[in-house]
Copies of this chain bind each other. A is one copy, B any other.
Amino acid sequence: MTGARPQVRPYGELTSLIGMAQARYAREIDDGDCTAWPDFFVDDCFYKITTADNYAQNLEAGLMWMDSKDMLRDRILSLLEANVYERHSYRHLLGQPYIREIEGDEVESETSFMVARITREGPTDLFATGRYIDRYRFLGDDPKLVTRIVVLDSNQIDTLLGFPL
C-alpha cells in the first residue's frame, strides 16, 4: 500500500510512519546539528511553541511563532551562528503518536514528549514535558509537518526559547 492516500491506510500503518518520521526528527535535533530541522516541514508550514494554559484558553500568543520553512531555516542558522560553543545538550523521548483525524492527504496527530537537558559536566534534569499537536502531509511514505504546535505543560519556559523542540 506504499504511497497510498492516508484514508485508505490502516491507522497502525500511519502511526508507524509518523513514529518513524518523529524518530528522525528527534535524532536531528538531539544528535545532529539541526541544519536539517526545517526539512521535516513543508514550505508553507506553521510552527509554534505555547503553553498548556495558553492553548486551553485559545490564546493566540505563543512563545515562538514561525509560518514558513524559510523562517525556520533563518532561525536555525542564527542559532548555530550565535551558539558557537554549546554547553548543553538535549534528549527527547517521544510517546507513540495518537491519530486524531485524517483529512485528504493530511493526518492530525498528538504525541507526548519529555526533554532532558544535559549540562556536560553537571547534572541531567527533566527540562520540559508536553505534547506535539501536529498536522502531517503524506507525500508518499514520507510525512512532512504542515503544522507543529508544541504545547508545553509548564508555564516556566523562558530558558528554552533558543532551540527547536
Q: Which residues of A contact B (CB under 8 A)?
A: 2, 10-13, 15-17, 19-20, 22-24, 26-27, 30-31, 52-53, 89, 91-98, 110, 112-114, 116, 118-131, 153-156
Contacts and interface: CB of A to CB of B under 8 A. Distances in A.
A20 B110 CA distance: 12
A57 to B, nearest CB: 13
A122 B121 CA distance: 24
Contacts of A22: 96
Contacts of A156: 121-124
B114 A93 contact: yes
B126 A153 contact: no
Given A13-B12, A20-B15, A98-B27, A112 B93 contact: yes
